[in-house]
A = this chain, B = another copy of it.
Amino acid sequence: MAANVDGAGRPPGGPARGGRYHHGALREALVASAEDVLAERGVEGFTLREAARRAGVSPAAPAHHFGDAAGLLTEVAILGFEGLAQALREGDARGGADPAARLREQGVGYVDFALSHPARFKLMFREERLRCDERFGQAAGAAFGILQDAIRAQHGLGPGEALTDAARAAALAAWSLVHGFAHLALDGQFDRMAGGQGRRVFVAAALPGVLAAMPGQGPAASTKPSP
């Protein structure tokens, strides 16, 4: 996957640098090769040296740009959250004006993103390998904010208004469903079980169900658990 990057400062001369001392766009190149390593060997199998190797650079070079291994992985994860946010935004737009449709399409977007970028997606939640600093938190929060906005619309809340308990629960339920589905699908459980259905149909059917079931969202939820 993506051995090249459309980084602005990339000098001409092809992906391998032609004997020049300075790389010119090493930061971007390292991010790209890190993604390659992740895609090929998983989070478990990632090493900083291998990423440097693939970028055609000495093992000490990444330190100049990222400090250490966690720094590089965090950069990849942040880009991942930005990509996820983009996918959610596109889904939201597909949903038009109807909050239920917006949420449903966001769910489809979430799952599509996860299955299109498995390694990146898995990395995003492996906090033990990341530096969970402010930038990271903001990227993750921005993605989540897109879900929150649609939830607000569905719950009759204004933009930026604090979520009610019911709204929070609805957001968590929706997120749980697509998050769990994405992970199971990445583990190959979907292939084994999904019958003839596509992902889109599945998510589009299940997601409104959870949302409808949450308190404050219609009568379907009133089943009380037995103590």
Q: How far is the CA of A45 from the CA of B205 in the complex (A)?
A: 39
> Would you call A209 and B202 a contact (CB within 8 A)?
no
> Would you call B215 and A212 a contact (CB within 8 A)?
no
Interface residue from B165, B175, B180, B200 paired with A175 (Cβ < 8 Å): B180
Interface residue from B95, B105, B213, B226 paired with A209 (Cβ < 8 Å): B213
Using Cβ atoms and an 8 Å threshold, which residues of chain B touch A214?
205-206, 209
Interface size class for chain A? 35 or more
A129-B44, A173-B177, A206-B210 as given contacts; A168 in contact with B195, CB under 8 Å: yes
Copies of the chain in the assembly: 2
Q: How far is the CA of A189 from the CA of B214 in the complex (A)?
A: 18
Proximity bits, A185-227, B CB within 8 Å = 1, else 0: 0010110011111001110111111111111000011011110
> Would you call A125 and B44 a contact (CB within 8 A)?
no
Distance in angstroms from A84 CB to nearest chain B CB is 15
Using Cβ atoms and an 8 Å threshold, which residues of chain B touch A128?
42, 44-45
| A16 CB–B CB distance under 8 Å | no
Interface residue from B178, B189, B213, B221 paired with A180 (Cβ < 8 Å): B178
- What are 23 of the A-B contact pairs (CB < 8 Å)? A44-B44, A101-B226, A125-B187, A164-B195, A165-B197, A168-B193, A168-B195, A169-B202, A173-B202, A176-B176, A177-B180, A177-B210, A179-B180, A179-B184, A200-B225, A204-B223, A204-B225, A205-B213, A207-B213, A208-B213, A209-B209, A209-B213, A210-B210
